[in-house]
Amino acid sequence: MTSLEDLIGSIRHSPRLPEIIELLRCQLDEERRRRPAFYKEMTPEQKIEFINGEAILHSPSRNRHLDVTGWIANLVGNFARVHKVGTVNVEKCLCVFPRNDYEPNIVFFGREKSASFDDDTLKFPVPDLVVEILSPSTEERDRGVKFEDYAANGVGEYWIVDADASVIEQYILNGESYELRQKSSSGRLRSHVLSGFECEVAAFFDVSENLAALRQLLST
């Protein structure tokens, strides 16, 4: 990920700097104008995100995508509930970042952030852990703008999951950028943010493995 200093350095000596600044200011002003309308017009039936000033409406997910989302949420969510370490939400959880609004597949909020939630909470803060399940229509954003935005705003851990290949990539925040901790279809995954959570990677991609991991989790 390009650092803020590098981004500034690439344009600060340009003779077109005033023009660039004015264009960026106009873009941000337009985004700020559109964002309240996005909040007003979105509906509970939609999975929709606000990215760089545009409302992105998601299409329905394939069964494999839904299965893997459910299996991962089953383990992470039950771990969080059993150990009372925070809140796990799945889909349609609107996470408000300084510039953009995202609805990741799975999010985890630690105790401190969870303490502010009530039954009517609609806009959620930046999560502590995010899981995105790749699809052809979302992969560019999951590896692009979201990857950079999550890191820039302190999401401590980011899992990118390829449901078809049964592979998970685990990224840990190191300073202002992510460091790849693990990319695997086997072995054990140990969370950095969700302290104490670990399981076989296979449990994220197979129902029998998932149930076995859940039994082990609930017995400890």
When pLDDT is averaged across residues 146-161 and rounded to a whole number, the result is 97
Residue 203: pLDDT over 60:
yes
pLDDT tens-place string over residues 167-176: 999 999 999 8
Residue 14: pLDDT over 90:
no
Average pLDDT, the chain: 94
Place of tokens 């129902």: 207
Residue 5, pLDDT score: 76
pLDDT tens-place string over residues 185-198: 999 999 999 999 99
Residue 2, pLDDT score: 60
Q: Give the C-alpha separation, 83 to 197, whole Å.
A: 10
pLDDT tens-place string over residues 108-123: 999 999 999 999 999 9
Determine which of 3-12, 104-113, 115-124, 143-152 has the lowest per-residue pLDDT on average: 3-12
Q: How confident is the model at residue 1 (pLDDT cuts 50, 70, 90)?
A: low
Residue 150, pLDDT score: 98
Q: Which of 42-46, 124-128, 173-177: highest mean pLDDT?
A: 124-128
Q: How confident is the model at residue 10 (pLDDT cuts 50, 70, 90)?
A: confident
Whether the model pTM is above 0.75: yes
